[in-house]
Structure 1
Amino acid sequence: MRRARLDLTGRIVVVTGGAGGIGRAFSALATERGARIVVVDARDEAAATAVAALPDGASRHHAEVADLTDRSEVEAVLDRIAYRYGRIDVLVNNAGMTSAARFDERSVESIEQELAVNLTAPLVVTRLAIPLLRESPDPRVITTVSLGGIFPLGETPIYTASKFGLRGAMLSIALDLRDKGITVSSVLPSATDTRMLRQEALDGGNSLQFQDPPQSPQHVAATMMGLLDRPRLEAYPRPSESWLVRAALLMPNALPRLMPLFRGKGRRGQARYIRELRERGLVSTVDGIDVAFED
């Protein structure tokens, strides 16, 4: 028997990093089911633009601007959501960042910032949102982790550390909250064609993730919607890739020998992706530096 789709009519869906590619794609799908979206993003104009692109725009949906690493700003946003809506039905932890700076060269401050954005912030947001989630008849939390949460990415170890930690934390939180009425799930996408990946490619980030062309944000968003219809602890937009990396981790000591076998293909895929970005007009050169942007 086919499971019925979750009815989101009138449900309050809060999406952090909501002005980014995956956030916008998920919001678009959720509005098709009648949801009311709260886009939370650190970028004022981008958040407003994301809301304006949704059906009925700002008359039905809402933009909030916040630095999610600042607890006082998170609390203020949740207070405004409580005043406006009184509850959160679905919380989507989607905000994240990465850096192509190598570990032995980057500043300690940048390490702390990346861990704060990718690991600490979604945990704090989730914890502070629990009173509002408990006001929902069927509260859900979905967190965007990464395939990097189960496989070490040599060029981006802090991103890997944050996602390893986030995956473990969300699994634990899911087990803890399931008997308390809150359903918690995670999606673990591989390379996805977002502004973050585009900039990482331009900056010379991890080439192994370009074995295949990056997937679309819409594909990841569809997997996230599937978690609402059929709740699970985790879902992988590209299941075959997940099995490959999990199998590789059965023999971690073999990784130094295995990595070079894939690096050449990854570098070619990365170069091809950068060419495609330029053809699509998604790269601008500012003061001699290539900068990627959203579609």
Structure 2
Amino acid sequence: MSYDYRDRVIVVTGGAGDIAGAFIVPAAARGARIAVVDIRGEQAERAAAALPGAAHRGYACDLTDEAAVRGLVERLAADHGRIDVLVNNVGMTSSERFDERSVESIRTEIEVNLLSPLVLTRLAIPLLRASRDPRVITTVSLGGIFPLGETPIYTASKFGLRGAMLSIGLDLAGKGIRAGSVLPSATDTRMLRQEAIDGGNSLQFQDPPQPPESVARAMMRLLDRPRLEAYPRVSESLLVRFAMLMPNALPRLMRLFRRRGERGMARFLAELERDGKVRREDGTLVLAEVER
């Protein structure tokens, strides 16, 4: 199968981010109408304006605010009348350790990563049903299979999101809506760069981070061949699923892989600094990019 993007209405959350950008450009080039949704309204509008074609629009929305999400759905209904593909791509992480971070920050991360995709998907059901071939694609993470010790709230949110989307995919399949998830490993995005600077989870750097385009291609494969899950790096998915057959062995496995991951994270940061993507200010690394 090869998905026909022509005149399809594709709504992408986290739309001004790196993974979304790698997806919406080829989707627009194939004839889709893109609705770029981001909490940063100006960036969403710029991302939409930069796409080939003239039918694209940017929408500002705080997806943790139910009233705002309802308003977004109303605007999408007025502008497009339907949603052919909903891409739940919004996400965040924090390198604050569990025993040090605030309860408020825990609630925020769960709200962004887990609850907001579920709420938007639920509220978008009428617009999805207005499509001849409705789809839902959700960006989860291999952190939805394998626990990341330094980022337990991210892990909790992604474990929950993976389970919810598997269940939703099973439930909605009989109602004409096909839902699937992409589970990427570490991806070279602004979020990962900041996490590396902050001393985040070193286990993600066993191998060099993949480019956002790899995740976007996995999304497109889900449209070409619908299924419940897709993995940009299949070998990594097999490794983490095998490791989870023996959860009590995880403390020993972590020790084996942590040192390699720390070396990989150091190489990643060195490459970012060499390429001018991070810079030093008073001896501290900071992101060099101007925020889009």
TM over 0.5: yes
Unmatched 5+ stretches in structure 2: none
| Number of residues of Structure 1 aligned to a counterpart in Structure 2 | 290
Counterpart of 1:81, as a letter, is L
Shift of 1:280: 2.1
Deviation at 1:55, TM superposition (A): 0.7
User: Could you tell me which residue of structure 1 aligns to residue 191 of structure 2?
Assistant: 196
Where does residue 213 of structure 2 map in the other structure? 218
1:19-168 equivalent positions in 2, closer than 5 A: 19-56=16-53, 59-168=54-163
Q: What runs of 5+ residues in structure 1 fail to find an aligned partner? A: none
Is the 2:92–2:112 contact (alpha carbons within 8 Å) kept by the matching residues of 1? yes
Q: CA deviation at 1:285?
A: 5.3
Helix, strand or coil at the partner of 1:6: coil
Q: Retained in 1: the 8 A contact 2:169–2:180?
A: yes
Question: What is the CA–CA distance in structure 2 between the aligned matches of 1:76 and 1:286, rounded to whole Å?
Answer: 41
Aligned amino acid, residue 76 of structure 1: G
CA RMSD after TM alignment: 1.4
For the pair 1:173 / 2:168, whether they are aligned, the reply is yes
Residue 7 of structure 2 corresponds to which residue in structure 1? Answer: 10
Deviation at 1:130, TM superposition (A): 0.3
On the 8 A contact 1:68/1:117 being kept in 2, the answer is: yes
Post-superposition Cα deviations, 1:149-198, rounded to whole Å, max 9, x if no partner, equal 00000000000000000000000000000010000000000000001101
Structure 1 residues 134, 288: closer, same or farther in 2, change over 3 A? Answer: farther
Are the aligned partners of 1:29 and 1:221 in contact in 2 as well (CA < 8 Å)?
no
Q: Percent identity?
A: 68
Question: Could you tell me which of 277, 280, 290 is aligned with 2:275?
Answer: 280
Cα deviations across residues 80-115 of structure 1 (Å, max 9, x unaligned)? 110011000000000000000000000000000000
Does the 8 Å contact 1:186/1:234 carry over to 2?
Answer: yes
SS state at 2:35 partner: strand
> How far, CA to CA, are the matches of 2:210 and 2:120 in structure 1?
27
- What SS does structure 1 have at the residue aligned with 2:37? strand
Between the aligned partners of 1:80 and 1:285, the Cα distance in structure 2 is 43
Deviations 1:36-64 (A, max 9, x none): 100000112321221122113xx320000
Q: Find the aligned partners of 1:224 and 1:218 in 2 and give their Cα distance.
A: 10
